[in-house]
């Protein structure tokens, strides 16, 4: 535990922010040094202050969110992992390219804390006697290299949009139009399986490189059936965002929420709803309230805090109704 925390502490540096309220939090972090319990205490205090700032929607810029992600990085709880990643991906969405490497690290820590292998090799232990740092719990079937390259700023220039990937995405979307009968739903599910398999093959072959490619692949894979499908779809969306493909913004939050719910956690952006038998009413049956700030939600085209609470309250009223 100590080795892991020390390695993590040495991996994060907090940048300058635009909101002056962050300055004393940054100063306190620097004063704490690398003593891991002291740094954790400082991070918990910072998280409390940042929650208050989120309630007032006072974090607004890419620099603010990048700084905030570093301040909560060492909070010793799953909430800290969530916030660190959400702050970092918001900074990335708002145009801070330096947040790309941070996203890889916050994502690995979130997966590791949730009992899953790390994906980008960003988490390492303390160096051994030869100075070698071992990657902690690496996933043998990690994301395609292009995502880490894009997030790390080392990706080659993208090729033109992959026509086959685009066709697979369009077929995926077309299959979801006018679903009226059980047979329609069965046909869609049957078509999804080989379609996802082909998308995965294209990714393994390294034939997806543009922001549009990564987005097209994510659109197909987010219709998968398990945690790893949603996890990879989210990673692809982050890669698309890092490529400057803003159209992927809405799917960042949807894939994230699907992954969290599938992993047994409440969703964070209130993007996933369930309909009644007649398909007339839709309810948000689980969400972390108050959750991300409205600026964070707006960045990823998600319901506001007020809208999320209303959707959840509507659900609770159906439970209490006689």
Write out pLDDT tens, residues 172-222.
999 999 888 899 888 989 999 999 999 999 999 999 999 999 999 999 999
Residue 128 falls inside a structural domain: no
Distant-in-sequence, close-in-space partners of 49: CB < 8 Å, separation ≥ 6: 21, 25
Specify the number of domains making up the chain: 3
Q: Tokens 């145009």 correspond to what residue?
A: 95
Nearest to 309 by CA among 257, 252, 250, 269: 269
User: Which of the listed residues 113, 129, 155 is the one where a domain comes to its end?
Assistant: 113
Phi, psi of 320 (to 5 degrees): -85, -15
Interval 98-137: pLDDT, tens: 999 999 999 999 999 999 999 999 998 888 888 888 999 9
Q: With contact defined as beta carbons under 8 Å apart, do 7 and 133 qualify?
A: yes
Residue 131 falls inside a structural domain: no
171 and 285 share a domain?
A: no
**6 band by pLDDT with thresholds 50, 70 and 90:** very low
Q: With contact defined as beta carbons under 8 Å apart, do 210 and 147 qualify?
A: no
153 and 260 share a domain?
A: yes
**36 or 259, greater pLDDT:** 259
Residue 20 falls inside a structural domain: yes
22 and 56 share a domain?
A: yes
Which neighbouring-strand residues pair with 138?
Answer: 118
Alpha helices in the chain (DSSP H): 2-9, 23-32, 36-55, 62-71, 78-93, 99-113, 145-152, 163-174, 182-204, 211-221, 227-242, 249-262, 294-299, 305-320
pLDDT at 33: 86
Instruction: Pull the structure tokens for residue 212.
Output: 């549009």
Which neighbouring-strand residues pair with 274?
Answer: 283
Cα angle, residue 211 at apex, residues 106 and 190 outer, rounded to 5°: 90
238 and 304 share a domain?
A: no
Cα–Cα distance between 222 and 233 in angstroms, integer?
5
Residue 306 falls inside a structural domain: yes
The three-class DSSP label of residue 71 is helix
pLDDT at 77: 87
Cα–Cα distance between 142 and 128 in angstroms, integer?
25
pLDDT at 4: 46
Cα–Cα distance between 38 and 86 in angstroms, integer?
24
22 and 43 share a domain?
A: yes
- What is the C-alpha radius of gyration for the chain, rounded to an integer number of angstroms? 20
Residue 125 falls inside a structural domain: no
Q: Tokens 């990937």 correspond to what residue?
A: 165
6 and 18 share a domain?
A: yes
User: Which of the listed residues 265, 289, 305 is the one where a domain comes to its end?
Assistant: 265
298 and 199 share a domain?
A: no
174 and 252 share a domain?
A: yes
286 and 320 share a domain?
A: yes
Residue 134 falls inside a structural domain: no
83 and 190 share a domain?
A: no
Nearest to 56 by CA among 305, 301, 267: 305
Residue 119 falls inside a structural domain: no
Structural domain range at position 316:
266-322
207 and 278 share a domain?
A: no
53 and 41 share a domain?
A: yes
In this prediction the pTM is: 0.92
Residue 186 falls inside a structural domain: yes
Q: Tokens 């959750």 correspond to what residue?
A: 291
């Amino acid at each position: 535990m100590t080795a892991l925390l020390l390695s993590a502490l040495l991996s994060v540096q907090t940048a300058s922010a635009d909101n002056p309220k962050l300055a004393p939090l940054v100063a306190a972090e620097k004063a704490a040094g690398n003593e891991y319990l002291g740094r954790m205490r400082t991070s918990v205090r910072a998280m409390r202050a940042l929650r208050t700032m989120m309630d007032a929607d006072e974090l607004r810029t890419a620099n603010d969110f990048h700084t905030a992600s570093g301040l909560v990085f060492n909070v010793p709880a799953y909430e800290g992992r969530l916030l660190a990643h959400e702050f970092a991906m918001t900074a990335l969405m708002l145009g801070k390219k330096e947040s790309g490497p941070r996203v890889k690290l916050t994502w690995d820590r979130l997966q590791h804390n949730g009992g899953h292998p790390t994906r980008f090799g960003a988490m390492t232990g303390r160096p051994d006697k030869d100075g070698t740092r071992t990657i902690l719990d690496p996933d043998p079937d990690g994301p395609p290299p292009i995502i880490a390259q894009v997030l790390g700023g080392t990706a080659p220039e993208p090729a033109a949009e992959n026509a086959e990937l685009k066709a697979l995405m369009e077929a995926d979307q077309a299959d979801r139009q006018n679903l009226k009968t059980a047979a329609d739903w069965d046909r869609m599910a049957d078509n999804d399986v080989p379609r996802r398999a082909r998308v995965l093959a294209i990714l393994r072959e390294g034939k997806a490189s543009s922001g549009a490619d990564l987005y097209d692949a994510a659109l197909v894979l987010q219709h998968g059936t398990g945690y790893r499908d949603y996890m990879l779809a989210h990673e692809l969306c982050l890669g698309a965002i890092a490529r400057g493909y803003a159209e992927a913004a809405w799917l960042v939050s949807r894939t994230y929420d699907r992954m969290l719910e599938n992993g047994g956690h409440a969703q964070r952006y209130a993007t996933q709803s369930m309909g009644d038998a007649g398909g007339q009413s839709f309810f948000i049956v689980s969400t972390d309230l108050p959750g991300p700030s409205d600026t964070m939600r707006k960045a990823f085209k998600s319901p506001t805090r007020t809208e999320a609470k209303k959707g959840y309250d509507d659900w609770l009223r159906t439970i209490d109704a006689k």
